[in-house]
């Protein structure tokens, strides 16, 4: 049994455009909220968690709904089509609202202030200006809500498409390719960030940058719509699985009841997902602010290094997990991620920026190792017809964690100081996820049973 890499790459274009969006979102939205609207870190953290609050409710719902859809385009494709179009249009509109707010700040002569005065101005005067004319912030938040709702409608269906077209034993390898596509989208957006100097200009307009990001998203969307044949590929996967005896044919409506041990493992996997996402998201959601305001580093280049390291490691990690098991590989990834964040504690503005590159390379490898295997461990417990629902479980755990992460970490940043909390907070929660993952007993790779001469046959288009 071989993985059809071409097919998975095309399916991965949906994750490509999703990752491109979130890379841009995490990079510029905190800066806009903090610098252009003058919001405190705690308030900014609450707003940054809105997508996760929506996701907790919407991802399981839309994942389960897509399980029941039977259109001529497939279960997942209609959600990807509508969600992408609305998200791109609203995201582009968001940049115009920000540009209006920026014009109000420029009228206040902010660029003429010294660096020291500008910091005080951002914390006090800018917030006063925002509150005196709340229309831009209200419009910004309303449009942001539209963007986030649109993204939430198709995230679970897009991710569920990979297991729909991939037999269970190949899902770690396939998920490696999917994450590879996501990293490619993220790196392209990071390069755009360097081109547009998003980490250098505090009061820059983001219209050009957002337009470029939207173009990248539409490129991935167009390739997906033109070449992915969801219904055909899903039918072929089911036939191939039946030939190998990987999973007995069941009706889509049949309920898959977990044993008590399987349920216990599922809860522990989801708890682990929540914990490492709290640690990881606390870093990624505010790294643009930490790097720019605390360290004085170019956050784009640092994140490119992390993404590049992840890209290099995805496929090897998929192969390693097939040999040593998903659980052991995940535990190794957790240790790598914790080690990277621990080293980051000792990085100061006086240390050359280049020192941060190997640290984030290590973090990228650790995160890739976790991501390649954690989602397949969850959907391994799902029967045919339940993939979208179990994808929703996975994202409920991860998104709930990402609600907690920016709010709790933002509160501690304001209370104690970002410099002293940023990396230690991440280390703590990543280590806690190691403890819960140790007790997981289910979700590893399914053994392949030969049932025909198709054992060494690849599935063609």
pLDDT tens-place string over residues 101-129:
888 877 776 555 444 444 555 567 788 88
Burial class, 288, CB count within 10 angstroms (exposed 0-12 / middle 13-18 / buried 19+): buried
Spatial distance between the Cα atoms of 205 and 96, rounded to a whole number of angstroms: 9
Spatial distance between the Cα atoms of 331 and 316, rounded to a whole number of angstroms: 16
Spatial distance between the Cα atoms of 94 and 325, rounded to a whole number of angstroms: 44
Spatial distance between the Cα atoms of 10 and 106, rounded to a whole number of angstroms: 44
Q: What is the pLDDT of residue 414?
A: 82
Burial class, 258, CB count within 10 angstroms (exposed 0-12 / middle 13-18 / buried 19+): middle
Q: What is the pLDDT of residue 246?
A: 67
**SS3 letters for 159-205?**
HHHHHHCCCHHHHHHHHHHHHHHHHHHHHHHHHHHHHCCCCCCCCCC
What is the CATH architecture of 5-229+259-444?
Up-down Bundle (1.20)
Spatial distance between the Cα atoms of 257 and 16, rounded to a whole number of angstroms: 33
Taking a C-beta distance cutoff of 8 angstroms, is the pair 454, 243 a contact?
Answer: yes
Listed residue (136, 138, 146) closest to 96, CA to CA: 136
Spatial distance between the Cα atoms of 119 and 124, rounded to a whole number of angstroms: 9
Listed residue (8, 380, 387, 2) closest to 230, CA to CA: 8
Q: What is the pLDDT of residue 452?
A: 42
- Looking at the DSSP bridge assignments, the partners of residue 232 are none
Listed residue (96, 91, 102, 97) closest to 204, CA to CA: 102
Spatial distance between the Cα atoms of 353 and 214, rounded to a whole number of angstroms: 30
Q: What is the pLDDT of residue 36?
A: 85
Listed residue (200, 5, 2, 207) closest to 96, CA to CA: 207
Of all residues in the chain, what percent are helix, strand and coil, respectively (each to 5)?
A: 80, 0, 20
Spatial distance between the Cα atoms of 278 and 430, rounded to a whole number of angstroms: 8
Q: What angle do CA 422, 396, 437 make, to 5 degrees?
A: 65
Q: What is the pLDDT of residue 35?
A: 82
Spatial distance between the Cα atoms of 177 and 126, rounded to a whole number of angstroms: 44
Q: What is the pLDDT of residue 256?
A: 57
Segments of the chain scoring below 50 in pLDDT: 113-118, 248-254, 449-461
- Alpha helix stretches (DSSP H) within 76-124: 77-107, 115-123
- Looking at the DSSP bridge assignments, the partners of residue 458 are none
Q: What is the pLDDT of residue 457?
A: 34
Q: What is the DSSP letter of 71?
A: B
Tokens standing for residue 150:
């649109």
Whose tokens are 């009061």? That residue is: 203
DSSP secondary structure string for all residues of 12-39: THHHHHHHHHHHHHHHHHHHIIIIIS--
- Looking at the DSSP bridge assignments, the partners of residue 71 are 74
How many alpha carbons fall within 13 Å on the CB side of residue 387? 23
Query: CB 327: neighbour CB atoms within 10 A?
Result: 23
Taking a C-beta distance cutoff of 8 angstroms, is the pair 9, 181 a contact?
Answer: yes
Tokens standing for residue 76:
């997942």
């Amino acid at each position: 049994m071989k993985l059809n890499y071409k097919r998975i790459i095309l399916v991965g274009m949906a994750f490509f455009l999703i990752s491109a969006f979130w890379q841009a979102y995490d990079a510029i939205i905190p800066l806009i909220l903090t610098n252009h609207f003058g919001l405190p870190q705690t308030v900014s953290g609450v707003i940054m968690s809105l997508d996760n609050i929506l996701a907790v409710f919407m991802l399981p719902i839309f994942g389960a709904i897509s399980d029941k859809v039977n259109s001529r385009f497939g279960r997942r494709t209609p959600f990807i089509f509508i969600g992408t179009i609305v998200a791109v249009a609203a995201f582009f509109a968001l940049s115009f609202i920000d540009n209006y707010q920026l014009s109000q700040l420029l009228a206040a002569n902010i660029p003429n202030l010294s660096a020291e005065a500008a910091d005080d101005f951002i914390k006090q005067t800018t917030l006063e200006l925002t509150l005196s004319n709340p229309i831009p912030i209200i419009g910004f938040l309303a449009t942001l809500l539209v963007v986030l709702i649109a993204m939430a409608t198709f995230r679970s269906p897009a991710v569920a498409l990979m297991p729909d077209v991939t037999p269970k034993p190949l899902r770690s390898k396939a998920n490696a390719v999917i994450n590879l596509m996501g990293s490619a989208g993220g790196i392209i957006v990071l390069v755009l960030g360097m081109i547009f100097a998003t980490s250098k200009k505090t009061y820059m307009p983001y219209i050009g940058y957002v337009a470029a990001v939207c173009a990248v998203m539409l490129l991935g969307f167009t390739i997906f719509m033109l070449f992915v044949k969801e219904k055909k590929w899903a039918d072929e996967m089911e036939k191939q699985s039946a030939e190998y005896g990987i999973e007995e044919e069941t009706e889509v409506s049949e309920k898959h009841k977990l044993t008590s041990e399987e349920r216990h493992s599922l809860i522990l996997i989801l708890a682990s997902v929540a914990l490492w996402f709290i640690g990881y998201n606390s870093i990624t959601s505010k790294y643009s602010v930490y790097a720019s305001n605390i360290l004085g580093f170019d956050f784009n280049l640092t994140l490119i290094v992390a993404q590049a390291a992840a890209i290099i490691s995805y496929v090897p990690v998929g192969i390693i997990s097939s040999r040593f098991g998903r659980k052991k590989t995940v535990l190794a990834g957790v240790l790598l991620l914790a080690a990277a964040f621990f080293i980051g504690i000792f990085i100061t503005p006086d240390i050359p920026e280049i020192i941060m590159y190997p640290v984030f390379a290590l973090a990228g490898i650790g995160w890739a190792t976790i991501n390649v295997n954690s989602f397949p461990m969850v959907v391994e417990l799902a029967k045919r017809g339940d993939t979208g629902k179990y994808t929703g479980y996975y994202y409920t755990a991860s998104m709930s964690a990402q609600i907690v992460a920016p709010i709790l970490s933002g509160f501690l940043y304001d209370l104690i100081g970002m410099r002293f909390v940023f990396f230690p907070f991440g280390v703590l929660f990543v280590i806690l996820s190691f403890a819960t993952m140790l007790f997981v007993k289910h979700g590893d790779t399914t053994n392949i049973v030969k049932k025909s001469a198709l054992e060494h046959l690849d599935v063609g288009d």
